[in-house]
Amino acid sequence: MSAESIGTTALPGGACPRDPKPAPPGYAGKTVDQNWPGILPRKAVRPKGEVGIGESERESRLNGVSGKLRGSSSGPIIFAIVGILLFSNTLALGLNIADLHPSHHYRLEKIELSGEHAFSRDAVVSVMTTKERPWYQIWKPLPDFDTQAFTEDLAHIRRFYQAHGYYNAHLTYDLTLSQDKVTPRINVTEGKPIRIETIEIKVATSSPSPHKLDRSFKLPLKKGDVFDQDAYQTSAQDLINLYTTHSYAHAKVQRHAVVEVGPLQARIQYDVEPGGRCVFGSTTIAGIKKVAPKLIEEQLTYKSGESFDSRKLAASRSAIVGLNLFSAVDIEQDKHPGDQAVVPITISVHEGPKHSLSAGAGYNTETQLNATIGYTDYNFVGGGRQLSATATYSNVNSMFDVKLLQPRFVGPKSSLTLEASQQQQIYQTYTGNISGFDPHLDYKLSSSLTASAGWRLEYMKFNSVNASTINAIGGFRRSGILSGPSAGVTFNNTEDPFNPQSGEIISLLGNLSDHSLGADYRYWRALGEARKYQSVGWQTVLATRLMIGLSDTLGTIGDVPLSERFYSGGEGSVRGYGLRRIGPLSASNDPLGGLSLIEGSVELRRRLFGKFNGALFFDCGQVATRPYDLRVDALQCGYGPSAGMNSPVGPINFYLGFPTEKPRGDSTLQVYFSIGQYF
């Protein structure tokens, strides 16, 4: 049994170690975790005939990395044979880097990898700088094959396995040559991983333990886990975060790991030096030119003299970024204050443009041509007020919307929005012209929970309603006023608004309209939705959602506006069906909508290669004309695949949807396009 490595790294305030360095003299068979991201084992001694990183039956001139040439021992003869094969247009098998002529120009045809079981091929190949030409870029020439880069890539692969606990992993490779095209064949023998035997946290005398600060605190590592260096380093950072959120601004953590390759064990120790408790000191703002410093000060979630909490620094930065007035925001604490118990803060900003103008256009099979143009002033008459005007057009819904946002309306966690809009809706069931004014107050209860309350005031007028649709619904009010309160609550702890990989989104929204509130329409409506995202391994995310809507009239059925009835089917709903084509239809084949709605979706999303991704989805939904009637026994479902690619504005996806029950007159295939995930 031999101890392969003993590491010691100090992480002041969360500093991350960088590049690996060789062990100093005197550490025979050991390497030291000292400002580098991993613990590297000593060079393994293997039986003759096995080829690993840095050893073989004969060493290559290229960094000591070589493959094994089957049945060959003479360099000049090899070059002669290779030359003959090149000109005779046949394959040369079992070559290594030393067999390639140094003056010849080679191209990479593909990379063959075998033996990888603990990780996907994509994960292993991603650490290589040698990259294959993507299969879809057939018009591009094959990339150059750089022998030096490939030699380094072999070391990168072994380092990858070591960083994830596979210290006994080793590689063999050979090259296949066809004319000037090279195909490396890499075989990985993973071996068994190192597992954690013990984890110990030692805290300086008289300082509280992690569990005294937070009973729910847990490290991402535990006994029996594979010794993963990312988790090993993250655990140290988690300890720093724990103490800096409990007023220990100068907390430091030293981590140690002893890896025993023979018994496949790792012993881990974290030494915590919390230092003393601290309070916030003065705040200095740098980089201001046109924006008033007071506006930044109003976004701060801490005050001088309060107990130090690093979470308040993060929340303050998010609030400043949310003003949309700065292209860069950096908040730093003074590392060497005169008084260790008082922490001065420096906020450095770089001002961005005050105004923005945006435009876009697109096409899909439902709304067909659509276009948007918008203007935003991020500091309208000062105070961080945001004024925006947006015009959108499509064959289904066109709207002009003006919105004024007043931040910090009655406190730092609240904002007031005044919104006025004019829209025209052209659906199969009706054509609606709606003028509205919607003031609402939003209050941020926590980083994940937001509540809102407002008032809806709208004038509605409906035309082009078929007589058979009117008879099937039981009557409707052609025009009138909607007036009444609205309220909602949203919980969202996902990490990415465009392409969430984990977390949940739960929302509930309701509104009421009645004669006593100055309205012609009399009804209530509530809509709830829950979404969940979770990784199921192999770079695959399982996304699910459930939506339930309930509504009822407070008078006659005609007191529910046609635009406020529930509809289902189409993009953003149940894919595989045309727009609003799920549920009861009139004799004229128009969707009736309803007072009850249920929808659900299951989707498996996976990155395919590069920036490209794919998914399989299954959606179901149903609408009922009666209130409190969730037709789970009569669901109409759709299914299909999607493909897309990631972009700076989120994933761009194409969907093919097939219905399980085709409505009369509809297509058996629907095509959809979206920027961002539907849910």
Read off the pLDDT band of 648 (50, 70, 90): confident
Tell me the three state secondary structure of residue 290. Answer: coil
Mean pLDDT of 337-352: 92
Question: In this structure, are residues 372 and 358 in contact, taking their beta carbons and an 8 Å threshold?
Answer: yes
pLDDT tens per residue across span 135-145: 878 899 999 99
pLDDT at 628 over 60: yes
pLDDT at 393 over 90: yes
**How much is the pTM?**
0.73
End-to-end CA distance of the chain: 53
Taking every pair of Cα atoms in the chain, the longest distance, rounded to a whole number of angstroms, is 100
* Domain residue extents for the chain: 3-42+194-273, 75-189, 279-351, 359-402, 408-675
**CA of 55: how far to CAs of 27, 43, 461, in Å?**
21, 9, 82
Confidence at residue 496, expressed as pLDDT on a 0 to 100 scale: 86
Output the six-digit token pair for 498.
Answer: 């465009």
pLDDT tens per residue across span 455-474: 999 999 999 999 999 999 99
pLDDT at 39 over 90: no
Output the six-digit token pair for 447.
Answer: 């980083």
pLDDT tens per residue across span 280-313: 999 999 999 999 999 999 999 999 999 999 999 9
DSSP 372-414: EEEEEETTTTSTT-EEEEEEEEESSEEEEEEEEEEESSSSTTE
d(CA 458, CA 442): 20
**Which CATH code, of 2.40.420.20, 3.10.20.310, 3.30.360.10, 3.40.640.10, is assigned to 75-189?**
3.10.20.310
Domain 408-675 adopts which CATH fold? Answer: Porin (2.40.160)
Q: Which of 308, 311, 315, 316 is nearest to 334 (CA)?
A: 308
pLDDT at 133 over 60: yes
- 652 versus 42: the higher-pLDDT residue is 652
Domain 3-42+194-273 adopts which CATH fold? Answer: Ubiquitin-like (UB roll) (3.10.20)
Weakest mean pLDDT among 44-58, 152-166, 373-387, 525-539: 44-58
Weakest mean pLDDT among 31-40, 80-89, 513-522, 576-585: 31-40
Confidence at residue 504, expressed as pLDDT on a 0 to 100 scale: 97
Output the six-digit token pair for 329.
Answer: 């925001």
Instruction: Give residue 163's Cα distance to chain centre.
Output: 24
- 107 versus 496: the higher-pLDDT residue is 107
pLDDT tens per residue across span 398-422: 999 999 999 989 888 899 999 999 9
pLDDT tens per residue across span 481-535: 999 999 999 999 998 888 899 999 999 999 999 999 999 999 999 999 999 999 9
Domain 279-351 adopts which CATH fold? Answer: Ubiquitin-like (UB roll) (3.10.20)
pLDDT tens per residue across span 161-212: 999 999 999 999 999 999 899 999 999 999 999 999 999 999 998 899 999 9
Confidence at residue 417, expressed as pLDDT on a 0 to 100 scale: 97
pLDDT at 275 over 80: yes
Mean pLDDT of 355-367: 81
Average pLDDT, the chain: 86
% residues pLDDT > 70 (the chain): 86
Neighbours of 474 (CB within 10 A): 11
Read off the pLDDT band of 33 (50, 70, 90): very low
Same fold, 3-42+194-273 and 75-189: yes
